[in-house]
């Protein structure tokens, strides 16, 4: 069995404080890391490093778990650059452009959609992302939702059925009929390719009753729950997600005190604590608040207040929301920098949220941390510390990525 040693590490972010690391990120210095068969098998003082078949010299760079991007919409055709330009000139974001992308996606070939998914997945990987959730939601017919998920499943196990993105034009004025389609034949066709079900619970999309119906039937079909909630205004989404035991409620831009309390109570009940990394992560029943600052950047909206959530004890994740309308970025480093500058997160909190937090949002214990036994998904930075991800925004600091222990070509 071939082994690979990563050494000359400037700083190792483990996200495992209990292992003797320093602070919430479980920082360790002077250590090396051994990979075998796609797994981390040893971390210890570099001077005791075992012999290995191959070696990667980190050249004093920081080594972090690969980013876990727990919210992305990659199966689409076309772009909406003109809509972005209009927003920057003062137009508001309403989500109405989703139907434009639905038209383009339905008209695209499987290979065109596949090319886009691969291009964006590769783009994300070059920036350190090693786990990526991918949603459907631009097909909105039985056939187009199933093929979107089939294509997404070619590159990730974290696939999400978002048939309830908006009511498509052919069902205008008949939302109940469309929800019936989503809960019936569309779910049946999509479920074999999906791990999760999601609903855009927002005025102009789906109300709480529709969201509850879709999530409940999705859960009965064996899917885990997630929700787009409280993005464009206050609403019932966050509390519905907590009530139903969703793994994550995403956006969380407009929150009442009751929303924050509900999220905090779910984190406490679960034993996890607010992104401080102090638990093993083995019990993951709480609902994570996944914040998507790329969307606020690209829609020129106020950013969510991460500090308020963290101070209340809520578990926070960061993700890109990569999509052609509200957030056309695949860059987790960009989201980390925005979270630090605009959302009152410390650099350590933002890095934790983009790695271990994303893993919590996907209820995964094998990624987002570095300790023996987990998947060897990691990045090596051209910088000595994780601080540089926010300190040097816009700079391509990710020098090397290992995915399942395999060095990725740049
Ligand atoms: O998460 N809010 C709903 N869905 C996406 C936007 C999709 C689009 O504008 O095409 C989001 O921001
Ligand atoms: Fe989204």
pLDDT in tens, 185-208: 999 999 999 999 999 999 999 999
- Residue indicated by tokens 């350190």: 128
- In a mutational test of the pocket of ligand 1, which residue from 201, 232, 319, 321 has the highest number of ligand atoms less than 8 Å from its CB? 321
Binding residues for Zn(2+), by number, are 71, 73, 228, 321
54 C-alpha to center of ligand 2: Å? 40
The answer to whether the CB of 95 is under 6 A from ligand 1 is yes
Report pLDDT for 146.
Answer: 98
Report pLDDT for 1.
Answer: 76
The answer to whether the CB of 321 is under 6 A from ligand 1 is yes
Report pLDDT for 271.
Answer: 53
What's the CA gap between 210 and 197, in Å, rounded? 13
Report pLDDT for 270.
Answer: 60
Which ligand 1 atom sits closest to the C-alpha of 231? Answer: 2
Cα first-last separation, the chain: 25
What's the CA gap between 375 and 362, in Å, rounded? 15
Which ligand 1 atom sits closest to the C-alpha of 101? Answer: 10
pTM: predicted TM-score of the whole model, two decimal places = 0.96
Report pLDDT for 21.
Answer: 59
410 C-alpha to center of ligand 2: Å? 28
Domain boundaries, the chain: 3-66+370-407, 67-361
Helix axes 237-244, 257-270, angle to 10 degrees: 20
Q: From the CA of 166, which ligand is nearest?
A: 1
Per-residue tens of pLDDT for the chain, all 410 residues: 799 999 999 999 999 986 555 678 999 999 999 999 999 999 999 999 999 999 999 999 999 999 999 999 999 999 999 999 999 999 999 888 999 999 999 999 999 999 999 999 999 999 999 999 999 999 999 999 999 999 999 999 999 999 999 999 999 999 999 999 999 999 999 999 999 999 999 999 999 999 999 999 999 999 999 999 999 999 999 999 999 999 999 999 999 999 999 999 998 876 554 333 333 343 456 999 999 999 999 999 999 999 999 999 999 999 999 999 999 999 999 999 999 999 999 999 999 999 999 999 999 999 999 999 999 999 999 999 999 999 999 999 999 999 999 999 76
What's the CA gap between 52 and 74, in Å, rounded? 38
User: What superfamily in CATH does domain 3-66+370-407 come from?
Assistant: Urease, subunit C, domain 1 (2.30.40.10)
Instruction: Name the residue at shortest CA distance from atom 12 of ligand 1.
Output: 326
- CA distances in angstroms from 268 to 61, 132, 325, listed in the order given: 36, 27, 35
Report pLDDT for 141.
Answer: 98
The answer to whether the CB of 386 is under 6 A from ligand 1 is no
At 111 the three-state DSSP class reads helix
- 248-251 and 224-229 as β-strands: parallel, antiparallel, unpaired? parallel
Identify the CATH class of 67-361.
Answer: alpha beta
What's the CA gap between 323 and 166, in Å, rounded? 15
At 108 the three-state DSSP class reads coil
What's the CA gap between 358 and 167, in Å, rounded? 29
Report pLDDT for 282.
Answer: 37
Which ligand 1 atom sits closest to the C-alpha of 232? Answer: 2
Distance of CA 192 to the CA centre of its chain: 21
The answer to whether the CB of 325 is under 6 A from ligand 1 is yes
DSSP letters, 147-172, are HHHHHHTTT-S-EEEEEESS--GGGT
Report pLDDT for 17.
Answer: 85
92 C-alpha to center of ligand 1: Å? 13
Question: What ipTM goes with this model?
Answer: 0.97
- Residue indicated by tokens 């691969």: 118
What's the CA gap between 100 and 396, in Å, rounded? 32
What's the CA gap between 380 and 230, in Å, rounded? 35
- CA-based angle 400:118:250, to the nearest 5? 85
Report pLDDT for 18.
Answer: 66
Which ligand 1 atom sits closest to the C-alpha of 250? Answer: 1
Asked whether the beta carbons of 113 and 77 are under 8 A apart, the reply is: yes
Residues 6 or more apart whose Cβ sits within 8 Å of residue 60: 8, 9, 10, 384
Backbone φ and ψ for 290, nearest 5 degrees, come out as -100, 120
What's the CA gap between 206 and 186, in Å, rounded? 16
3-state secondary structure 318-380: ECCCEECCCECCCCHHHHHHHHHHHCCCCHHHHHHHHHHHHHHHCCCCCCCCCCCCCECCEEE
């Amino acid at each position: 069995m071939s082994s690979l040693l990563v050494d000359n590490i400037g700083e190792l972010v483990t996200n495992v404080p209990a292992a003797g690391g320093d602070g919430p990120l479980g920082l360790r210095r002077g250590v090396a890391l051994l990979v075998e068969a796609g797994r981390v098998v040893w971390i210890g003082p570099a001077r005791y490093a075992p012999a290995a078949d191959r070696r990667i010299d980190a050249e004093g760079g920081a080594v972090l778990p690969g980013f876990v991007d727990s919210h992305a919409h990659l199966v689409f055709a076309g772009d909406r650059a003109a809509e972005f330009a209009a927003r920057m000139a003062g137009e508001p974001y309403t989500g109405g452009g989703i139907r434009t992308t639905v038209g383009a996606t339905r008209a695209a070939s499987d290979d065109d959609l596949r090319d886009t998914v691969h291009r964006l997945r590769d783009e994300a990987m070059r920036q350190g992302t090693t786990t990526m959730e991918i949603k459907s939601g631009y097909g909105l017919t039985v056939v187009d939702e199933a093929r979107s998920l089939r294509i997404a499943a070619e590159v990730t196990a974290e696939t999400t059925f978002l048939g309830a993105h908006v009511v498509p034009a052919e069902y205008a004025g008949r939302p109940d009929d469309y929800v019936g389609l989503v809960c019936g034949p569309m779910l049946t066709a999509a479920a074999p390719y999906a791990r999760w079900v999601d609903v855009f619970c927002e005025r102009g999309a789906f109300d709480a009753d529709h969201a509850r119906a879709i999530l409940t039937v999705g859960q009965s079909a064996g899917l885990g729950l997630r929700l787009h909630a409280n993005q464009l205004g206050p609403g019932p989404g966050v509390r519905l997600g907590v009530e139903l035991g969703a793994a994550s409620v995403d956006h969380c831009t407009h929150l009442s005190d009751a929303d924050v309390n509900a999220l905090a109570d779910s984190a406490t009940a679960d034993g996890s604590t607010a992104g401080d990394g102090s638990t093993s992560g083995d019990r993951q029943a709480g609902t994570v608040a996944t914040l998507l600052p790329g969307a606020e950047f690209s829609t020129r909206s106020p950013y969510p207040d991460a500090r308020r959530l963290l101070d209340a004890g809520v578990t926070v994740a960061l993700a890109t929301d990569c999509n052609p309308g509200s957030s056309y970025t695949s860059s987790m480093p960009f989201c980390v920098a925005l979270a630090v500058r605009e959302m009152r997160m410390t650099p350590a909190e933002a890095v934790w949220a983009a790695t271990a937090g994303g893993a919590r949002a996907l209820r995964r214990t094998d990624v987002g941390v570095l300790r023996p036994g987990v998947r060897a998904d990691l990045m090596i930075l051209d910088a000595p510390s994780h601080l540089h991800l926010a300190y040097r925004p816009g700079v391509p600091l990710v020098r090397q990525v290992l995915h399942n222990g395999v060095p990725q070509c740049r």
